[in-house]
């Protein structure tokens, strides 16, 4: 199992409360308690129907274009999604005001918008939907959601 480490800054008062809560719930450290508490918080967001926060990073990924080509593009990645500047016809240039949201497992473009922010917002909504399906693409039709986002992009 891979493990990640985080450094959390807290006031003395917060530290004391976290240590008490960790001890009360049977954790050996405040760090292990914080990990469980953060997971519970994200689960509560999901149950409340709020979009999941996605961690976006910079990288390369493949995209299937309308002409059948599958070039590698550079853009933002938050698995299972990627965003690149351009659209179904191919990568764009800086200032083109076109960004494509791509579903990485199939390299398929999901939608194209004028801003990357719209792509990130749709990705968060789709992630929330798809989490209910165990992380795989759902069988329910995402068309109403896509149409809503396209109306907001105009």
Task: From 135, 106, 119, 110, select the one nearest 75 (Cα to Cα).
Answer: 119
Location of structure tokens 């659209």: 87
Output the DSSP codes for the chain. Answer: -----------HHHHHHHHHHHHHTT-SSHHHHHHHHHHHHHHHHHHTTPPPP---EEEEEE---TTS---EEEEEEETTEEEEEEETTEE--TT---EEEEETTTTEEEEEESSHHHHHHHHHHHHHHHHTTTTSPPSS--HHHHHHHHHHH-
Q: How many angstroms separate the CA atoms of 5 and 28, rounded?
A: 16
pTM of the model: 0.60
pLDDT digits (tens, 9 = 90+) for 48-101: 766 667 889 999 999 999 999 999 999 999 988 999 999 999 998 888 889 999
What average pLDDT does the segment 99-116 reach? 92
pLDDT digits (tens, 9 = 90+) for 9-33: 989 999 999 999 999 999 999 999 9
């Amino acid at each position: 199992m891979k493990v990640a480490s985080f450094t959390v800054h807290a006031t003395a008062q917060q530290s004391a409360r976290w240590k008490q809560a960790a001890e009360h719930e049977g954790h050996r450290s405040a760090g292990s308690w914080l990990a469980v508490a953060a997971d519970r918080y994200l689960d509560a967001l999901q149950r409340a129907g709020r979009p999941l926060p996605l961690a976006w990073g910079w990288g390369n990924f493949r995209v299937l274009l309308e002409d059948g080509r599958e070039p590698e593009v550079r853009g933002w990645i938050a698995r299972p999604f990627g965003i690149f500047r351009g659209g179904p016809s191919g990568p764009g240039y800086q200032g083109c005001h076109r960004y494509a949201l791509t579903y990485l497992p199939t390299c398929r473009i999901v939608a194209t918008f004028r801003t990357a922010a719209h792509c990130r917002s749709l990705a968060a909504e789709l992630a929330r939907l798809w989490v209910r399906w165990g992380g795989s693409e759902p069988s329910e039709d995402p068309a109403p959601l896509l149409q809503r986002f396209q109306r907001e992009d105009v």
